[in-house]
Structure 1
Amino acid sequence: MTRDSSLVTEFDDHRERLVAMAHRMLGSRADGEDAVQEVWLRLARQEQGSIDNLPGWLTTVTGRVCIDMLRARRARVATVPQADLPEFTVSEDTEAPDEAAVATDAVGLALLVVLDSLGPDERLAFVLHDIFAVPFAEIAQILGASTDAAKMSASRARRKVRGADLPSDGRQRQRQVVDAFLKAARDGDFDALLQVLDPHITWRSYGPDGVTVTLGVTEVIAATERGARAAVVARRVLVNGAPGVLTWSRSGVPLSVMACTVRHGRIVDVVAVVDPRRLATMDLPTCDEIGG
């Protein structure tokens, strides 16, 4: 086996781990793939025998590529302010998925929203340490900071994450809540909707003209009842690894994707995409694929 083919094999052994890390740090699997491709290019330029610990080297370089991308992104946002929608990954929910595989492959939308609010250093320190157990000494080298500074960045991020409305219920309980919401909406059951929606629910709907925010259960139920009267087909799907809702017209055209955050048995937050242009760019299941 040549040096190049051996290097490709070794790198491929670590690729999925690196993509998972980069995905969480950057919020987009496509960006994560780009970052890992850059890591490969840097590895290919290394002299043979110059790396003593390949897994550690790959983690460090992936972190450095990602922090550079995060800082560059923050600089662009500072000059051209815009509120963008986190990446949606939508797939069929079979009710019995490989939970470990789902956790590895998908980033919960609620966590992505929180991570997007963090500074680059906070985000990298939190993801690497709290999710991938990378020691703070290594994180400090990536950030070009002291170990104490890296710990402080992770601590600040941790406080923000704890203060967010992240899901508190297990996957199966989330499914039950989303299914109860769908049934109540189809039946027009006001009392059942009150049971499944948090009184202070926030519903963000991204349409062609921007985002509309609806606050409070009464307003959300009114909007839900209007939607229930429309000729739509609604099914539970996985949105970024958590149970959500996908709707189609009777002719099978996607109308909306809803990411639902469930806490203590109630839906507390919904992020919905209803913009046909955005929906057209998403890889969505068809109505027939999930029993429509």
Structure 2
Amino acid sequence: MSGSFPDSSLADAFVEQRPRLVAVAHRILGSRVDAEDAVQEAWLRLARQDAATIDNLSGWLTTVVSRVCIDTLRSRKAKPEQPYDDDRVPEMIVTEDIDRMPEEGALLADSVGLALLVVLDSLSPAERLAFVLHDTFAVPFDEVAQIVGKSTDATKMLASRARRKVQGTQRPASELQRQRDVVDAFLSAARSGDFEALLEVLDPDVRWTSHTARGVVVRLGATQVAGRAKQGAHAKVSGRRVLVDGQPGLAAWGPTGKPLSVMACTVVDGKIVEIVSVTDPKRLATMDLPKV
């Protein structure tokens, strides 16, 4: 971070707040890079601010980051969409996954899911901000109202409209557990090199897109995918299930704890129909991954 403060305690306080601010910006913007930029802008503004004028640093920073985010959202709306590129490295949000996760954890996992991000993209910037700040981070409506520049009642209406639009994105816990079971079976079969067991959990037309340091590799069909997964059997790596974009996936680390791969799995009717993985070390280094 650039800039400095006469009072180092304020800088220390910002560092303490930073993970939460990145989480807020990430859920609003859906992009880790944009979230980091928004938080960096908040730091720069804090460096120019008279600390004596800030009564509540947490609230002040949340307001600044949120306003930067809403400006970014409005800028996106004003610009034509960029064409989708199959070779583009996916933006992955990786979080811990624990069986029988507490309700709060399950809701947080859903809050970063791709399905929700798609719905959020259809909301107006004010609706998106009101929903994420209040429903995900419990920011009071009167504070959200000041950020979006509307009355408290109008802000409640924004959040209510957004909430109705995203209600269909929440998954029953039983469905999430079934998806976990399939991913666990895939991991177990890959570890043991059991080709037939791999075929049992893969859709016949499964597609595996792997983003490597050398480029994109695509494998089609259960036989190809199972054959590649089998090659990792007995390797000296630590692999476990994680949530990738709110869905059960896999992550692997080397013996020294260095991240080796992140894999997103799409499960339909008990079969893995698509896998997207990242093994490029540079890309993995930018991800906020759980510790091994």
Q: 1:45 aligns with which of 24, 40, 48?
A: 48
Q: 1:58 matched to which residue of 2?
A: 61
Q: 1:152 aligns with which of 133, 157, 165?
A: 157
Deviation per CA, 1:177-228, whole angstroms, max 9, x where unpaired? 312345679544699549xx8xxx9979688999x9xxxxxxxxx9334422
Tell me if the contact between 1:258 and 1:271 (Cα under 8 Å) persists in the aligned partners: yes
The TM-score with structure 1 as length reference comes to 0.65
Helix, strand or coil for the counterpart of 1:49?
Answer: helix
Mind listing any 5+ residue stretches in structure 1 that lack a counterpart? 213-221, 248-253
> Does the C-alpha gap of structure 1 residues 171 and 3 become closer, same or farther in structure 2, counting only changes over 3 Å?
farther
Change (3 A) 1:267 1:193: closer
- Residues in 2 aligned to 1:111 and 1:140: alpha-carbon distance in whole angstroms: 23
Scaled by the length of structure 2, what TM-score is found? 0.65
Distance 1:257 1:134, change over 3 A: same
Alignment of 1:246-257 (within 5 A): none
The structure 2 residue matched to 1:33, chosen from 32, 36, 50, is 36
Decide which of 73, 76, 81 is 2:76's aligned counterpart.
Answer: 73
Moved more, 132-141 or 150-159: 150-159
Cα deviation for residue 9 of structure 1 reads 2.3
**Structure 2, unaligned runs of 5 or more:** 234-238, 253-258
After superposition, the Cα gap between the structure-2 partners of 1:162 and 1:178, relative to the gap in structure 1 and judged at 3 Å, is same
Contact 1:236 1:246 in 2 (8 A): yes
Report what 2:91 is aligned to.
87
The 1-side partners of 2:81 and 2:91 are apart by: 22
- Whether 1:22 and 2:25 are equivalent positions in the alignment is yes
Give RMSD over aligned pairs. 4.8
SS in 1 for 2:276: strand
Higher alpha-carbon deviation: 30-39 or 141-150: 141-150
Report the identity percentage.
Answer: 52
Q: Distance in 2 between matches of 1:165 and 1:261?
A: 16
Give the counterpart letter for 1:139 in structure 2: V
Match of 1:219 in 2: none
User: What is the 5 A alignment of 1:212-227?
Assistant: 223-227=221-225
Amino acid at match of 1:180: A
Aligned residues: 261
Give the AA of the match of 1:42.
Answer: R
Alpha-carbon distance in structure 1 between the residues aligned to 2:157 and 2:272: 30
Secondary structure (helix, strand or coil) at the match of 1:244 reads: strand
Q: Which residue of 1 aligns with 2:185?
A: 180
The 1:123–1:271 alpha-carbon spacing in structure 2 relative to 1, beyond 3 Å, is farther
Query: Is the deviation greater in 111-120 or in 40-49?
Result: 111-120
Is the partner of 1:272 in helix, strand or coil? strand
